[in-house]
């Protein structure tokens, strides 16, 4: 018989909400046991026989995936891989850039990524040293591969709000990318320039008039990002301002969620 959170709390746990397990209530502990496979042994008030009996029932429902918390990152990676499964790796350089090289006896795509390279093979994506990249970065790259875009950058730059269906993402961009960069580098444009160069940024300040800094980042061969920075001017009441600009072709290569991911990744590298 399967044990739901309610069953476990009502029929097995002592319902004292004593906190001896490290959780505020028996219901909270039951939720962790059912959805995240926390051991019942965390409750010090259960006898060994009860733990053994319930553990057998829990093991059966875990094996069926019943009531388990879904790993959303793993799901996203699975579907991203599915979306790119039919792609011939040898066709990718012409469409998204990079080059085909041989590693461990097989042909893989060597793709520049920020100031490094990744290797894309049929069985997965790895860093240049052979270690795996994060699941979120793998999803990002699989989406780029499957998106179908082939256009080279046009040199026509746009802010996120100029692309369709980005109203909510513009708010996220301000909160999670622009605000942290402003806080980190307000009054310190030299520090921002140093970090930008360290991760492969190319100084374009001379092309941006009143801006104190402008750096071009070649995130992927056909996905450039421009960061423009105006430092604070307290005597005139102006705060620092940061803006990320994207080539107008980017939506052919990435969806809006992926554009947000690369923006946050760039912020993390700079900060």
Q: Tens of pLDDT along 180-198?
A: 999 999 999 999 999 999 9
Residues 244/266, Cβ–Cβ less than 8 Å: yes
Q: Name the one residue in this structure whose structure tokens are 């350089």.
A: 93
What mean pLDDT is reported for the chain? 91
Higher pLDDT residue, 268 or 105? 268
Task: Assign 115 a pLDDT band (cuts: 50, 70, 90).
Answer: confident
**Over pLDDT 90: what percentage of the chain?**
65
Q: For residue 269, what are the CA distances in angstroms to 59, 89, 198, 260?
A: 42, 28, 9, 14
CA distance 199 to 131: 19
CA distance 168 to 64: 37
Domain extents in the chain: 5-63, 72-147, 157-270
Q: Tens of pLDDT along 200-240?
A: 999 999 998 889 999 999 999 999 999 999 999 888 778 99
Residue 120 has pLDDT above 80, yes or no: yes
Q: Tens of pLDDT along 3-15?
A: 988 889 989 999 8
Which H or E element spans position 179? helix 179-185
In sequence order, what are the residues at sequence separation of 6 or more whose Cβ sits closer than 8 angstroms to the Cβ of residue 45? 14, 16, 18, 20
In the structure encoding, which two tokens stand for residue 138, read together? 């793998």
CATH topology of domain 5-63: 3-methyladenine DNA Glycosylase II; Chain A, domain 3 (1.10.15)
Which H or E element spans position 242? strand 241-247
**Over pLDDT 70: what percentage of the chain?**
99
Q: Which pLDDT belongs to residue 71?
A: 66
CA atoms within 13 A of residue 46's CA, in its CB half-sphere: 24
Q: Kindly state the average pLDDT of the residues 80-106.
A: 88
CA distance 120 to 97: 12
Residue 65 has pLDDT above 70, yes or no: yes
Q: Which pLDDT belongs to residue 72?
A: 63
């Amino acid at each position: 018989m399967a044990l739901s959170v309610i069953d476990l709390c009502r029929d097995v746990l002592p319902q004292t909400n004593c906190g001896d397990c490290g959780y505020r209530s028996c219901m909270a502990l039951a939720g962790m046991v059912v959805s995240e496979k926390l051991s019942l042994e965390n409750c010090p008030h259960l006898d060994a026989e009860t733990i053994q009996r319930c553990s057998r029932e829990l093991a059966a429902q875990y094996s069926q995936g019943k009531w388990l918390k879904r790993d959303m990152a793993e799901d996203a990676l699975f579907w991203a891989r599915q979306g790119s499964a039919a792609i011939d790796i040898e066709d990718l350089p012409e469409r998204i850039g990079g080059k085909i090289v041989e590693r461990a006896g097989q042909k893989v795509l060597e793709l520049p990524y920020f100031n490094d390279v990744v290797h894309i093979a049929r069985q997965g994506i790895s860093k240049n040293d052979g270690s795996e990249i994060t699941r979120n970065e793998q999803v990002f790259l699989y989406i780029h591969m499957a998106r179908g875009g082939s256009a080279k950058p046009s040199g026509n730059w746009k802010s996120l709000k100029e692309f369709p269906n980005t109203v909510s993402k513009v708010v996220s961009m301000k909160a999670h990318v622009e605000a942290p960069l402003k806080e980190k580098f307000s009054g310190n444009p030299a520090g921002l320039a140093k970090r930008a160069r360290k991760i492969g940024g190319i100084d374009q300040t001379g092309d941006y008039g009143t801006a104190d800094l402008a750096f071009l980042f070649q995130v992927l061969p056909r996905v450039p990002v421009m960061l423009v920075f105006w430092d604070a001017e307290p005597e005139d009441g102006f705060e620092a301002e940061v803006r990320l600009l994207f080539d107008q072709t980017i939506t052919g290569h990435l969806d809006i969620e992926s554009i947000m991911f690369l923006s946050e990744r760039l912020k993390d590298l700079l900060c």
